[in-house]
Every structure is written in C-alpha cells, then in structure tokens.
Amino acid sequence: MLNKAKKAEKRELQRLAEQAERERQAEEARLQAERIARLTLEREAEIAKHEAEEFARLRLLVENGTTAYVHVEKHLPVDARMNVLGAAGGLTSLLDEINRHGLQGWEIVSVVPRNYGGFSSHKSTKSHAPGTLNTGADAHEVHLGGHVVGVYVLLKYAINAQNFVASEALVRSTISDLLPERLRAPIV
C-alpha cells in the first residue's frame, strides 16, 4: 500500500511539473508575441519617419532645380527575330510595350539581350579542324552558343519640379523599395 501511495504521489508531482512547464512556455510565448508586436509597431513608425524624411529631402532637391531619376528594368520575351514570344503581333507588340512606357515619361537607357545557352566543350582526337591546335595530341574544342529568349530594357524616368506632384506615387514607391537594410531585416 505504501508503494501505491508513493507511485501516485510521484505521478502527481510529475503531472504538476509538466503543467508548470506548459504554463511557463505559454507565458514565454505570450511575452515573445508582445515583444514582436511592440517591435513591429516601432519598426513601422521608423519606416514611416524614414519615408517622410526621404520624400521631403527629394522634394527639396527637385524644388531647387535638381533632376532626380528612377531606373527600372523591364523584361520583354522575344526571340532572335524580335517576335514577341507567346503573343500575336510580333515586333508591333514589342513596340506597343515600349511606347506604353514612353508615353508615361520613361526613356530607354539600354537594351540588353537575354540569351539561353552557354559553353560546350569536347575532346577530339588529333583534329585537323580549323580553330584547333594540332600538336600531335588530342585537341580540346570549346564552343559558345545559345539563342535569344528576351531583352531587358533599362528605363529611366526623370523627376523634376514640373512633374514632381504627378510622380508622387512613383517616388513614394521607390523610397519604400529602397529602405535601408536595418528597416528591411526580419524582426526576431
């Protein structure tokens, strides 16, 4: 009978210890959630302050005659013959896309082709083919190849005193995209 009482007491102590541990973990989780919520609010306030300061700084620059620029890249899927992939209209469709940006005030800075492909190499035995060095040993040939799968169009948009108000949404969006790392890092 004494054994049964000791076992029951031991089970009860274990149950109480487990319950205390669950309560401690729940309290720790609650405190962590409160801390993250507080840090999130602080971060949001800091981001809002940073964005307001950057917008005011840019407004002052523009009002004083400086022209600011926003740069973006736009990928257009075309093949080597300038046919817009997956779209009817070919080159006309490509020009329509470029004109849409042009009519919004964007200027093309550069066009960079996007290629798919790469290097290939192989050994050939004692080749006499042009472009290989025949030294009496096996020759090693390397080829660069690929095909055009699109173009990156690099665009810039000038922001000046005349269009600052009309460009406010773009300016604010760009400022948000360029937040410093300390304001983009995850809260832990």
Same domain, 88 and 149: yes
pLDDT at 80 over 90: no
What gap in Å lies between CA 63 and CA 56, rounded to an integer? 10
Domain count, the chain: 2
Higher pLDDT, 129 or 13: 13
Same domain, 2 and 63: yes
pLDDT at 93 over 80: no
Q: Token pair for residue 54?
A: 């950057």
Highest mean pLDDT among 35-39, 81-85, 114-118: 35-39
Same domain, 140 and 83: yes
Give the chain's mean pLDDT: 83
In the chain, the largest separation of any two C-alpha atoms, in whole Å, equals 100
Same domain, 15 and 39: yes
Q: Which domain holds residue 179?
A: 1-67+167-188
For residue 113, the model assigns a pLDDT of: 81
Please state the rounded mean pLDDT for residues 134-161: 75
What gap in Å lies between CA 168 and CA 159, rounded to an integer? 9
What gap in Å lies between CA 155 and CA 73, rounded to an integer? 6
Same domain, 103 and 129: yes
Question: Left, alpha or beta for 106 (phi > 0: left; psi -120 to 50: alpha)?
Answer: beta
Question: Phi/psi of residue 123, each to 5°?
Answer: -95, 140
